[in-house]
Structure 1
Amino acid sequence: MVVQYIKDTRREDVDLRMYVTVTEAAYKKIMDTIPNEAKYIKLFYDNEGCGCVMSGIIDLVAVSEKDERDVDIESSVLNFIADRTKLVFMDDKLTVDWHKVGGTFQLKSPSQFYNPNMKLHVRV
């Protein structure tokens, strides 16, 4: 029996298990909203005022640079990041969509809605 060892090329700054799909409508709205200085779209897990770290909500935040705990997340079109300590609160496959009637973004996975009324904040 031959055993092959494959070098682990994973990087700490990339979460290879997660993937964010951005719908065409969401992509257009994001690009119409963010300034040129925004390099990343952060999946920001906000639990301030919720009383418990388990009771947070995710928003989109356009930023120009990463924080020290941020990791890259694979995406269909945009550069997504998230705090590595908050990834446990998100499924592996996410979709960002634009809800035209409500005028908000939606973050969902095949199993749940994370935030059906998500805002895009700009912090550049």
Structure 2
Amino acid sequence: MKLMFTDMAMLQIKKRIKEEKMFQLKLTYDSDDCGCAVNGISFLQVIEQPNKNDKKLITNFVPTYIEQRHEIFFDEEMKVEFDERSYAFRLSSPQQIINPRLALHIS
């Protein structure tokens, strides 16, 4: 599975983290309180270490992971962009826009 980041998305993520230390990301799918597992929402999460069930994605940015059981909710090739008009990240693939307002959770 591949997740590429545009230059603007990388710049905005670095700005929001505001720390010089190394960080890792996790593409997460949350279906809690969504009624059904297929009605979940995706977001990026800054993590210190991946979990044992996390799988490393092919990326052009920092190490990025996904929980193996959530792979089914995503496409094989995806891209994270930053839209300056809406000031939001967008997760898309050649087939679809997966999340037009992808959140970045920083713990």
TM-score, normalised to structure 1, is: 0.80
For 1:12, the equivalent position in structure 2 comes to none
Q: Which runs of 5+ in 1 are unaligned?
A: 1-17
- Do structure 1's residue 21 and structure 2's residue 4 form an aligned pair? yes
Q: Which amino acid aligns with 1:45?
A: Y
Q: What is the DSSP-based 3-state SS (H/G/I as helix, E as strand, rest coil) of the residue aligned with 2:75?
A: coil
Does structure 2 retain, via aligned residues, the 8 Å contact 1:47–1:53?
A: yes
SS at match of 1:115: strand
TM-score, normalised via structure 2 length: 0.92
Matched, 1:32 2:15: yes
Aligned match of 2:68 = 84
From 53, 65, 74, give the equivalent of 1:69: 53
Q: 1:58-83: CA deviations, max 9, x gaps? A: 10111111122111101012211010
Once the 2 structures are TM-superposed, how far is the Cα of residue 99 of structure 1 from its aligned partner? 1.0
> Which has the larger Rg?
1
**Runs of 4+ with >2 A deviation:** 35-39
Q: Percent identity between the aligned chains?
A: 26
- Return the letter of the residue paired with 2:16: T
- Looking at secondary structure, tell me which structure has more helix per residue: 2
Q: Show CA shifts across 1:3-45 (max 9, x none).
A: xxxxxxxxxxxxxxx1111001001001111234562111010
Of the three residues 79, 86, 111, the one matched with 2:95 is: 111
RMSD of the TM alignment (CA)? Answer: 1.2
2:87 alignment partner AA: G
Give deviations 1:88-114, integer Å, cap 9, x for gaps. 111110000001111110000000111
